[in-house]
A and B are shown apart, each in its own frame.
Chain A
Amino acid sequence: DAGVIQSPRHEVTEMGQEVTLRCKPISGHDYLFWYRQTMMRGLELLIYFNNNVPIDDSGMPEDRFSAKMPNASFSTLKIQPSEPRDSAVYFCASSLQGAREQYFGPGTRLTVT
């Protein structure tokens, strides 16, 4: 069974550019989570979806960040415009309702210069 798939694995971009990160959850999972990991702040939950609907976006840092889930097998996290302080590893995770554990993708390492 394929795990959570994220693309790209690495992204280097210049300040001010738009960045789109992609995630494919495990088939059949109905929860999807976006996390950000930095040395300073550790792991932070940005937003999560249930059945493609955003449930809690209180962790989204500011209006430059947006996330969508157009269908059960695909989600995007967009940063526009990007800033150097957005440099981090972004993880997507999915889970099945009632099964409390979350399964993480390999992450996207974003560097904004």
Chain B
Amino acid sequence: GDSVTQMEGPVTLSEEAFLTINCTYTATGYPSLFWYVQYPGEGLQLLLKATKADDKGSNKGFEATYRKETTSFHLEKGSVQVSDSAVYFCALLSGGSNYKLTFGKGTLLTVNP
């Protein structure tokens, strides 16, 4: 079945540091890939998405490229801010009529001033 594996946290960085959170997946067909962010005490918010190979999703300085050859969708940001502290979830949606999102376990990011 479908699965998502993302790097174990927690990740602690200083402000303005470079961020990478690794995500790899296993799926049949051609899934859509997502990064969601969850701020403390809140629900999940869609951060970015990519629906086909080589697509790059981007939002708020975050980027991720859909790499079919390595089945990866790593999240990157060039310069993190304290306000980026949150839990980040990688997720996939298989193609076709399946609307079940499969999530990774989440990575807690803490950015210190």
Contact = CB atoms under 8 A, between A and B. Distances in A.
Contacts of B46: 101-103
B26 interface: no
B103 A48 contact: no
B49 A105 contact: no
Nearest to A50: B99
Given A31-B99, A56-B100, A95-B99, A100 B49 contact: yes
A42 B44 contact: no
A103 B42 CA distance: 12
Contacts, number: 43
Interface string B86-113: 0001000100000111011110000000
A54 B34 CA distance: 24
Interface residues of A, number: 21
Q: Which of B34, B42, B44 has the most CB of A within 10 A?
A: B44
Contacts of A103: 46
Interface in A59-102: 91, 93, 95, 100-102
B44 A91 contact: yes
A43 B101 CA distance: 10
A48 B32 CA distance: 18
Given A43-B89, A106-B43, A107-B43, A100 B51 contact: yes
A45 interface: yes
Given A101-B34, A101-B46, A105-B43, A42 B99 contact: no
B47 to A, nearest CB: 10
Contact of B103 (A43, A55, A101): A43
Contacts of B49: 100-101
Contacts of A31: 99
Interface of A: 4, 31, 33, 42-43, 45, 48, 50, 55-56, 91, 93, 95, 100-107
Given A91-B43, A101-B46, A107-B42, 5 more contacts: A42-B103, A91-B44, A100-B49, A101-B34, A104-B45
A-B pairs with the 3 shortest C-beta distances?
Answer: A104-B43, A104-B44, A43-B103
